[in-house]
Structure 1
Amino acid sequence: MSDQRMSARRKHNIKGCMLTVAMDMLSEEGTRKAEERENFLTGKCPPIQLPHSRDELLKMVKELVEQVNAGEEEKYSTEFKLALVSLEVRDLNIKIVDLRGKFKKPKLKKVRMSADAMLKALLGSKHTVNMDLRAGLKQVKKEVKEEDQKLREAGDWRKNIEDKSDRKKMFDS
């Protein structure tokens, strides 16, 4: 496909299909979880068969009370372990915050450095490249023209007004 865009109607249809599939998957997951819960509960809690005599009934109640106490003890030990772990996590978080607070980042000042000095600072003694661009240029002697020499020797402009007036006429015409 080149740079063609999907039409709004097609997008809407695709979104609708995706939502229906997602809803089906959610409902299937919900029924599966409910079945798992039922299977777990039937395995852990078998149906109660009430005895007919008083002694058997008291014996069954005592067993149930023992099972409840065992469950409560397990719940208490699990909650205690959880509290210890959460306290440890909180203490570690406090230590982290303390360590962050102790080391303040200094405000850096702007430093003007040439590229050559920066490379030396970064690379140390390995730096051999010279960034001086004028070093490789050829030296050229400047030739002084005679007119420029005369102008420099002229000195005060008020002395040569007559000479300058001829030049002004050249530019005016």
Structure 2
Amino acid sequence: MSEGKKMTSSRRHHLKSLILSIAAQWIEEETAEIVATKAAYLAENAAKPDLSGDQAALMEICKKLHQALDKIDEERYDSEAKVKKSDKEIDDLKLKVVELAGVKKPALKKVRMSADSMLQALLGGKHKVTMDLRANLKQVKKEVKEEASAAVGDWRQNIEDKADRKKMFETS
């Protein structure tokens, strides 16, 4: 296909249906192969028991089957334990790789945004929120500064009062 020409929709549809039909055929062949492999394995490893005979022979067959099941369960348990152990080792190694590589911190970008625009971004465009931080502040009176300067001016009087107290303790 050349660069200038585009594929028509009917041609594209035909190719898609052709690919899907080939994929469906492959899936059918694969499932048939799996069924045949399973049947061959069962025929080789699990022969049908001979059920003709008296009760003692049947009991012996049952005992053999139970022993085989126990052995298979032990093997399954052992293999599960190995798989869990290897999975844990893999997870530990992944953690070590992450620790060795280190966590890269992304470069922070300076964002200039007012409190109102932040709240609007968080709450969405529907909510109109205004946040006036100065509205709830208390008013401070300037008279407090005048009292502080008057207290500083009386320092001589405070020293004389303390000297009188000291004389009281010394005389007694």
- Cα gap change, 1:106/1:49 in structure 2, threshold over 3 Å: closer, same or farther? closer
* 1:36 counterpart = 2:37: yes
Equivalent AA in structure 2 for residue 24 of structure 1: Q
Following superposition of structure 1 onto structure 2, how do residues 128-147 of structure 1 map, counting pairs within 5 Å?
none
In structure 2, what is the Cα distance between the partners aligned to 1:72 and 1:105? 49
Which residue in the other structure is 1:7 paired with? 8
In structure 1, what is the Cα distance between the partners aligned to 2:9 and 2:33? 36
Which residue in the other structure is 2:143 paired with? none
Identity of aligned residues (%): 28
Which residue in the other structure is 1:50 paired with? 51
Which residue in the other structure is 1:117 paired with? none
In the alignment, structure 2 segments of 5+ residues that lack a partner are 108-172
- SS state of the match for residue 14, structure 2? helix
In structure 2, what is the Cα distance between the partners aligned to 1:70 and 1:58? 18
1:63 Cα offset (Å): 0.8
Runs of 4+ that moved beyond 2 A: 96-101, 103-107
Equivalent AA in structure 2 for residue 88 of structure 1: E
TM-score (norm 1): 0.55
Which residue in the other structure is 2:96 paired with? 95
Which residue in the other structure is 1:81 paired with? 82
Equivalent AA in structure 1 for residue 7 of structure 2: M
Which residue in the other structure is 1:111 paired with? none
- Cα gap change, 1:31/1:104 in structure 2, threshold over 3 Å: closer, same or farther? closer
- Cα gap change, 1:18/1:104 in structure 2, threshold over 3 Å: closer, same or farther? closer
Which residue in the other structure is 2:112 paired with? none
1:80 Cα offset (Å): 1.0
Larger Rg: 1
- Cα gap change, 1:106/1:59 in structure 2, threshold over 3 Å: closer, same or farther? closer
CA displacement, residues 47-86 of structure 1 (integer Å, 9 cap, x when unaligned): 1211421221121111111111110111011011111101
* 1:61 counterpart = 2:58: no
TM-score (norm 2): 0.55
CA RMSD for the aligned pairs?
2.2
In structure 1, what is the Cα distance between the partners aligned to 2:66 and 2:52? 16
- SS state of the match for residue 81, structure 1? helix
- SS state of the match for residue 34, structure 2? helix
Moved more, 90-99 or 68-77: 90-99
Equivalent AA in structure 1 for residue 79 of structure 2: T
In structure 2, what is the Cα distance between the partners aligned to 1:75 and 1:94? 29
- SS state of the match for residue 81, structure 2? helix
1:97 Cα offset (Å): 2.6
Equivalent AA in structure 2 for residue 12 of structure 1: H
CA displacement, residues 15-70 of structure 1 (integer Å, 9 cap, x when unaligned): 11111111111111111111111111121111121142122112111111111111
1:105 Cα offset (Å): 6.9
In the alignment, structure 1 segments of 5+ residues that lack a partner are 108-173
